[in-house]
Structure 1
Amino acid sequence: MKTPLKQIYQIRIPLPFRLNHVNSYLVQDGSFWSVIDPGLDTLVTEKSWVQTLHQLNVKPSDIRNIYITHFHPDHYGFAGKMQRWTGAEVNASGETYALAERYYSQGQSERNLHFYLKSGIPETLAQDVAELDSKLLHQISPITGTRVNLLEGDSIVLAGEPYEIVLGGGHAEGSVGFWNAERQALIGGDLLLQKITPNITYQYEEDEGNPLESYFATLNALERRMVRTVLPGHGPVFQPQTDYFESVIAHHKERLDHVLGIVHEAGSAGTTIYDISMRLFSKVFDNDNARFALGETAAHVRYLERQKLLRVQESGGKYSVFENVPY
């Protein structure tokens, strides 16, 4: 539970997903405490926190700040309930609050279903996945108390030491990282993970974004900081190897090449986002992971579309993906 950073404890909170845990962090500042990423709003999460606070002899009223790295439910979901339980302020980026309000609204499941169907997914599977999305809304506790906006370059104190707020994107726009320059340490949520890369997703018709390009920019910015220690949102604390950033970017470039190859094989007939995703993620494509696979595929298609290597055309209620060459 202890980490290499003084007075910062890693709390492993169980999740009911294929990725079966999220790392929360409990930070001591004298007689007061802060929590980073409290987890998903489930009874298991609540019991985990009750047990953890009891073990460390921490009263709920001792918690003064709740920090959220990004809006995804496994990090954000329990924040509202923990705030009402402790009276703490919630701290996150403006993008995190805005995205949470959008994605956890009642109409989002219908918007997701619309995207799934246009991606070419069979209707029965699309309905099943949208139903899972709808159920997830019940594991998000709304934030009703004091909210503080974190800005790029802000300085906060954790465990008696200064941390700079760094913002990143790709996995979730407005993701917050906490950077300790003296220790070259990053509490980074899902910005940097050891054995997997964070899911980079996109939904057509959402906006004019390019999340994979945003993620590459985030990686380049973090590489320049010479990060030595990462306290991640999933998995163990780790020290990035010298080729870490290069290998993560190479992984995505290999996937981009794979997408180009699949679309090239389809020729003038084109193909769908669903068909591409089935080729990319055939071993893990099921109801639980379909939204991640489709979103990840769409993000890579979007990047290649912006590079003018692919074009996406809507016809007959579906998106068709073509090479950007004359036939």
Structure 2
Amino acid sequence: MADPVHSPDVSLAQDESFVATSHRGLTYPLGERVPDVGTAIAVAPGVHWVRIPMAGPLDHINCWLVADGDATTIVDTGLNVEASVAAWRALFAVAPLASAPPARVICTHFHPDHIGLAGWLCRKFEAPIWMTRGEWLTGRLLTADVRDAVPDEQIDFWHAAGWDADQIAAAQAKGFGQFRRMVAPLPIGYRRIVDGEAVAIGDATWRVVVGSGHCPEHACLWNARDGVLIAGDQVLPRISSNVSLTASEPEADPLGEWLASIERLLQLPDDLLVLPAHGAPFTGLHARLAALRDEHRKRLDILEGFLSEPRRATDCFPRMFRRTITGDMLGLATGETMAHLRRLEVEGRAVRDVRDGVWWYRSQA
């Protein structure tokens, strides 16, 4: 598998055996009701919920249609695959898009299931794309990277994490350019949105709330008047978004950014209706954020104790996950584990030694 930043946006918590965070304290106002493919359900004033199918355990991405006068603002798009295109074509024929065509496309972040069809939608309806600068530039960079051979820096990163020769060879055989295959060509230009900006959509004001860790500058949209938060992947109800250290920024601290973002989001009202990218709309924002925060903190404590002897990232998998990591999960598991080890290093709880290109971590205790 390529670097996770080049891969479909999936969480390590893809099934119940991987769920590491509590969803207790949440309520689901729509119960078991979900929109069929090609249909839209009203979930809040001026907001419709649509589900766009995608392959893999996640099954779908939630996209949102927000009333914008005589038009509609689309939030997130799905992958550039035929099933997703077919779902959108069906939606063009029914309310609200049948009478209120798209006027703009807002993408919460650069991952392929969120921007995969943004270029197609923008060209079809002559609509602009709105994103934060960090997400836009990252998406443009990755769609422009057309090489198929895995770069040496990526191979070195896998080696540093403890991958063996067979694991590296298997990943090399899959190639590097997966990202661009899932994303339709993006427009040359975009409209930048920034943290704290008030975006008028129809008669409502949506404030941009930026989070980091899962990606550089993830944009949530908060409608204070109606008590709604379009959360993207920043807050999911039953799984935890992947937070990975990657070869593209190996000295970053994505878990530190994720934890800081949780603290910022805890400043929002607790009674918001949260509209996530995966799973059902829910209430109980603070309980969910606290569970996400506490689970990561628990993992940090467990890892620190495990580092009484020097360990590689791959050695730490049994302390991080509830099942054996093999195959396609290896890249995501590695990134997530290395993000936790890096956070321990930043907090002064672990040190990293490099021997023959392999990173060995040991606790400071």
TM-score scaled by length of structure 1: 0.90
1:171 aligns with: 214
Equivalent residue, structure 2, for 1:26 = 65
Structure 1: runs of 5+ lacking an equivalent:
none
Please tell me the residue identity of whatever aligns with 2:291. Answer: S
- Measure the CA separation in 2 of the matches of 1:174 and 1:324: 32
TM-superposed deviation, 1:143:
1.1
2:163 alignment partner AA? I
Structure 2 residue corresponding to 1:117, chosen from 152, 159, 164: 159
Q: 2:112 aligns with which of 59, 69, 73?
A: 73
1:155 to 194, 198, 222: 198
Decide which of 227, 232, 238 is 2:276's aligned counterpart: 232
Structure 1 equivalent of residue 332 of structure 2 = 292
Residues 240-275 of structure 1: per-residue CA shift (max 9 Å, x gap): 1653322221111111122123222xx1xx221122
Q: Does 2:263 align with 1:220? A: yes
For the 8 Å contact 1:179–1:186, the answer to whether it is kept is: yes
**For residues 158 and 305 of structure 1, what CA distance do their matches in structure 2 show?**
43
1:184–1:51: structure 2 CA closer, same or farther, 3 Å change rule? same
The question of 1:52 aligning with 2:95 is answered no
- Return the offset for 1:9: 1.4
Give the corresponding residue for 1:271.
Answer: 311
**8 Å contact from structure 1 (residues 6, 159) kept in 2:** no
Aligned partner of 2:132 among 93, 97, 106: 93
CA distance in 2 between partners of 1:278 and 1:83 (Å): 44
CA 294–11 in structure 1, closer or farther in 2 if over 3 Å, else same? same
Which residue is 1:63 aligned to?
A: 102
Q: Does 1:135 align with 2:178?
A: yes
Return the letter of the residue paired with 2:304: L
Change in CA separation of 1:57 and 1:100 when aligned onto 2, cut-off 3 Å: closer
1:154 to partner: Cα distance: 1.3
Q: 1:194 to 1:40 in 2, by over 3 A?
A: same
Distance 1:10 1:128, change over 3 A: farther
Greater RCO (CA < 8 Å, at least 6 residues apart): 2
1:9 partnered with 2:48 = yes
CA distance in 2 between counterparts of 1:184 and 1:45 reads 29
**Matched residue SS, 2:216:** coil
- Distance 1:39-1:60 versus aligned 2 partners, 3 A rule: farther
Is the Cα contact below 8 Å between 2:140 and 2:186 reproduced in 1?
no
TM-superposed deviation, 1:52: 1.5
Give the TM-score normalised by structure 2. 0.81
- CA shift at 1:323, angstroms? 1.9
- Does the CA contact (< 8 Å) of 2:147 and 2:177 recur in 1? no
Deviation at 1:151, TM superposition (A): 0.9
Deviation at 1:83, TM superposition (A): 1.6
Name the amino acid aligned to 2:275: L
Change (3 A) 1:44 1:263: same
Maintained 8 Å contact 1:28/1:34 = yes
Where in structure 2 are there 5+ consecutive unaligned residues? Answer: 1-39
- Identity, in percent, stands at 23
Would you say how many aligned residue pairs link Structure 1 and Structure 2?
321
Equivalent residue, structure 2, for 1:82: 121
Question: SS state of the match for residue 97, structure 2?
Answer: coil
Range that drifts further, 52-61 or 168-177:
52-61
Aligned position for 1:196: 239
